[in-house]
Amino acid sequence: MSDPSASGWGSTRKTGPGAAASPKLLLRRLRQALAAPGDGQERLNQIVTLIAQSMAAEVCSVYLMRGQDTLQLSATEGLKSEAVHEARLKIGEGLVGVIARDGRPVVTAKAREHPEFRYLPETGEERYSSFLGVPIQKLGRTLGVLVVQNERPMSYTEEESEALALVAMVIAEMAEAGTLIPRASDDDSSEDREPVHIQGQGAADGVAIGPAYLHEPKLLLPNPIAEDPLHERTRLREALTRLQTDIDAMLDDDQMDATSEHREVLETYRLFANDRGWVRKLEEFIVSGLTAEAAVDAARTEARLKLRTATDPYLRQRFDDMDDIAQRLMRRLILPNDDDRAMPQDGAILVARALGPGEMMDYPRGTLSGVVLEDGAIGSHAAIVARAMEIPLIVQAKGALRGVETGDSMIVNGDQGHVHIRPREDVISAYEEKISLRAQEKASFAALRALPCRSLDACEVKLYINGGLAADLPSLDESGAEGVGLLRTELHFMLNKTMPTREDQSRFYSHILDKAGDRIVNFRTLDIGSDKVLPYMKQPRENNPALGWRAIRVGLDRPVVLRMQLQALLRAASGRPLRIMFPMVAALAEFEKARGMLLEEVERLDMAAPPTDLKIGAMLETPSLAFAQKRFFELADFISIGGNDLAQFFFAADRTNERTAGRYEVTHPAFLSLIRMIVERCDEAGTELSFCGEAAGRPLDALALAAMGIRAFSMRPASVGPVKRALLAADLTAMRIVAEEAEEARKRVRDALIEHCMESLIPI
């Protein structure tokens, strides 16, 4: 930021006693004015008057967000006072709405000629030609818009725009801290304490009622304007020193392996914490009149704005690291005793912007009853972890963080994507009823457990569960599944802060086999990369991580880790059968190589009781493998279709991107014919085949896949009951005919299948 005090701020329009004041002076005046007693509205009025005077502007107005998508004129100097609290604009409407939507300033000398101009007659603004508006933002969230206007067509300078942005930043902090308008938690009668309903996307089924818990505590700045810049600079330096000491202490930790990747991450953090450019920027903000914490926040907000337009993954990563450091520094400044932060109450509903799968597992099992994310995607691994842990999860719940405080009552409905914050009593009762109905339904599924899973036309179908945590194993008995069709071993790695040793792994796999007893377990070797990141293993920066260096590719290139895992598995299975499969195999040669590596480890095995029966399989997750040489199908003892990745690559649709993830369905005729082909090739080679993507757990999709010949499915435990109930009531031959006829008649296959299920009373 250039030093705004050096600009000719307002110098061309000296109209009143305060004209040509520097932003620093304005901030000082604001601080004096705001120190005096007064309610939020009086403060807002003072702010607009002071800005108008200082900038020699005829109009200065503040618009604040009310609800999810409306901006309300909340104070003005120069426009008609009757319009305050009356004039409203939707996000995207008029210049003010566009600023809120895009999060960028708009400046024009001829507002009326601007294509987005929208005239609000109640304000009397038609006289004003020049317009400069900046968003009032905090960390990428728009809280309102600050505008100055002048009658005469003229251009505002870049310095003026930057200085107005600085004032907007102060207003954002004050708005968030509740010094302008009461913050949500401070006034139960305010509009913000009303019940809020948000429609997101359900990513893990289930319904929960519980108290909200914010993953990142809201850091409210007590006062963004500094009284004594020198004192603020000292505070900043002290906090930076403490931050560096914290990082050094982590690096000195005896547990930290000198070569670990985690160490590299921390060293990068240390570099950032010492970054001269960053520290200089923070000091500039302090010189402009902000407190140390407001300066850190201003730098973060500025960085997030830049991030919106950055596409370079390296830059994005750097921003993320920087943002993390800034958050730690803010905590050091605002909450010196933050380490004592209370863990959530049992049954809490976690609310966050985004969450990695590892972060979710940091919460002790049983603590969370639901998770709500503002971002996130249904196909992400965080969602898979939530489903494995049977925690209802909502993604894309836009605005959730704005509306909620830790401790607010909440309901999440993962089946339909509803989030209720501070729901009314009648809504709570309706959901309590729903929760009790679900419990009854669960009991009815339990009654199906003992029945063989056979369709009406006598097709035997085997149902397995997907797992990854030791705590998944009790679900085998509860669901009546035949075994674990997919054990995602990476979840165990993700739970650990450092790479688990061979002995750790072996103990874990042995425990899984003990619990499974006679039932089979398909251990899938480490599937990392893409959105599954191990904190202690450096992941290269890639433009397309889903298509990048992941899964078996990492295993083959870095055989030490894969070999160690194979040894651990072989040891764990001592005297018992063992099934191992490799993820993301794209070509026969890869399978041959991985299989060869495993056989070498068997040869080297120095054990009294090696595994009794070793079966080696592959996940079929890339279309190329469906077309592999016949030898692949002959060599594999078993194949499991990873439908999540297979559909992602088949349709070229990123499973973690909400714009593309829901676009294609497994009942699409093209996907069904791929499945038919894989079934035929496995039948021909006599190879065991199963399907373990998320679609296996959706009754309609499972029926369609079974109708194409799949006879084994692996799914999250909660889906076993519903899928079995559907299979017991279905005639798979009839369903195949329905699908084929629909395809011929150019009808949507999914619609035809749904219609058939309705007519035949198949519960889907």
Q: Is 381 a residue of the active site?
A: yes
CB of 645 to ligand PEP, least distance (A): 3
Give the total residue count for the chain. Answer: 764
Q: Which is nearer to ligand PEP, 262 or 492 (CB)?
A: 492
Question: Minimum Å distance from CB 694 to ligand PEP?
Answer: 7
Q: What does the alpha-carbon distance between residue 112 and residue 149 come to, in Å, rounded to a whole number?
A: 12
Residue of this chain nearest to ligand PEP (CB atom): 642
713 three-state secondary structure: strand
* Active-site position among 60, 453, 682, 692: 692
| Smallest separation (angstroms) from ligand PEP to the CB of 468 | 9
CA-CA distance, 561 to 89, in Å (whole number)? 57
Binding mask 638-657 for Mg ion (x = CB under 5 A): ----x--x------------
Q: Which residues within the stretch 590-629 sit at the binding site for Mg ion (CB under 5 A)?
A: 621
Nearer to ligand PEP, 150 or 690 (CB): 690
Name the 3-class secondary structure at 139: coil
Q: Does 693 bind Mg ion (CB under 5 A)?
A: no
Q: What residues from 10 to 69 belong to the interface with Mg ion (CB under 5 A)?
A: none
d(CA 397, CA 361): 21
Question: Out of Mg ion, ligand PEP, none, which partner does residue 692 contact, by CB within 5 to 8 A per kind?
Answer: ligand PEP
On the 0-12 / 13-18 / 19+ scale of CB atoms within 10 A, 634 is: exposed
C-alpha 97/C-alpha 528 separation (Å) is 43
Structural contact between residues 592 and 578, judged by C-beta atoms closer than 8 angstroms: no
Interface residue with ligand PEP, options 644, 656, 667, 687 (CB under 6 A) = 644
Question: Element (H or E) spanning 477, and its range?
Answer: helix 474-479
Under the binding rule (CB under 6 A), the answer on residue 486 touching ligand PEP is: yes
The single-letter code of the amino acid at 192 is D
Nearer to ligand PEP, 380 or 479 (CB): 380
Give the separation between CA 33 and CA 10, rounded to whole angstroms: 21
Of 110-118, 565-573, 609-617, 638-646, the segment contacting ligand PEP by CB under 6 A is 638-646
Closer Cβ to Mg ion, 236 or 388, answer by number: 388
In whole angstroms, the minimum distance from the beta carbon of 356 to Mg ion comes to 17
Determine the interface stretch with ligand PEP among 7-15, 178-186, 305-313, 637-645 (rule: CB under 6 A): 637-645
* Sheet of 106-108, strands arranged across: 88-90, 70-77, 59-66, 141-150, 130-138, 106-108
| Nearest distance, CB of residue 317 and ligand PEP, angstroms | 22
| Nearest distance in Å: CB 400, ligand PEP | 25
The 268-307 site mask, x for binding ligand PEP (CB under 6 A), equals: ----------------------------------------
Nearer to ligand PEP, 420 or 488 (CB): 488
Number of residues that bind ligand PEP (CB under 6 A): 11
- Burial (CB count <10 Å: 0-12, 13-18, 19+), residue 35: exposed
Question: Does residue 686 contact residue 710 with C-beta atoms inside 8 Å?
Answer: no
DSSP state of 468: -
Binding status of residue 492 toward ligand PEP by CB under 6 A: no
CB-count burial class (<10 Å; 0-12, 13-18, 19+) for 393: buried
Give me the DSSP letters along 306-345. HHHH---HHHHHHHHHHHHHHHHHHHHHH-TTGGGPPPPP
Which of residues 173 and 621 has its CB atom nearest to ligand PEP in the complex? 621
Rg (CA), the chain: 30
How far apart are the C-alpha atoms of 82 and 189, rounded to whole Å?
A: 24
Nearer to ligand PEP, 292 or 585 (CB): 585
Residue 642 CB, shortest distance to Mg ion, in Å, is 4
Q: How far is CA 711 from the centre of its chain?
A: 34
Q: Whole-angstrom Cα distance, residue 11 to residue 738?
A: 78
The CB-of-644 to ligand PEP minimum distance in angstroms stands at: 3
Q: Does 712 bind ligand PEP (CB under 6 A)?
A: no
Is residue 531 a contact point for ligand PEP (CB under 6 A)? Answer: no
Q: Could you write out the DSSP letters of every residue in 355-412?
A: --HHHHHHSPTTSEEEEEESS--TTSHHHHHHHHTT--EEE--TTHHHH--TT-EEEE
Helix (H) or strand (E) holding 465: strand 462-467
Of residues 138, 331, 402, 488, which one binds ligand PEP by CB under 6 A? 488
Which residues from 115-134 bind ligand PEP, rule CB under 6 A? none
CB 682 within 8 A of CB 732: no
Taking the least distance from each CB to Mg ion, the nearer of 655 and 724 is 655
- CA atoms lying within 13 Å on the CB side of residue 637: 12
Task: Name the binder of 693 from ligand PEP, Mg ion, none, CB < 5-8 A by kind.
Answer: ligand PEP
210 binds Mg ion (CB under 5 A): no
**Cβ proximity of 131 and 105 under 8 Å:** no
Half-sphere exposure of 590 (CA within 13 A, CB side): 23
User: Is 420 an annotated catalytic residue?
Assistant: no
Where in 351-410 is the site for ligand PEP (CB under 6 A)? 384
- Of 619, 614, 617, the C-alpha closest to 599 is 614
183/550 with CB nearer Mg ion: 550
Q: Which of 527, 531, 590, 665 binds ligand PEP (CB under 6 A)?
A: 527
617 binds ligand PEP (CB under 6 A): no
Q: Which residue has the tokens 């010094």?
A: 179
Q: Which of 381, 418, 668, 756 is catalytic?
A: 381
665 binds, among ligand PEP, Mg ion, none (CB under 5 to 8 A by kind): none
From 166-174, 203-211, 496-504, 640-648, span contacting ligand PEP (CB under 6 A):
640-648
Name the minimum Å distance from CB 541 to ligand PEP.
21
Between residue 670 and residue 709, which ones bind ligand PEP under the rule CB under 6 A? 692-693
> What residues are annotated to the active site?
381, 692
Residue ranges that bind ligand PEP, judged by CB under 6 A: 384, 486, 488, 527, 621, 642-645, 692-693
Residue ranges that bind Mg ion, judged by CB under 5 A: 621, 642, 645
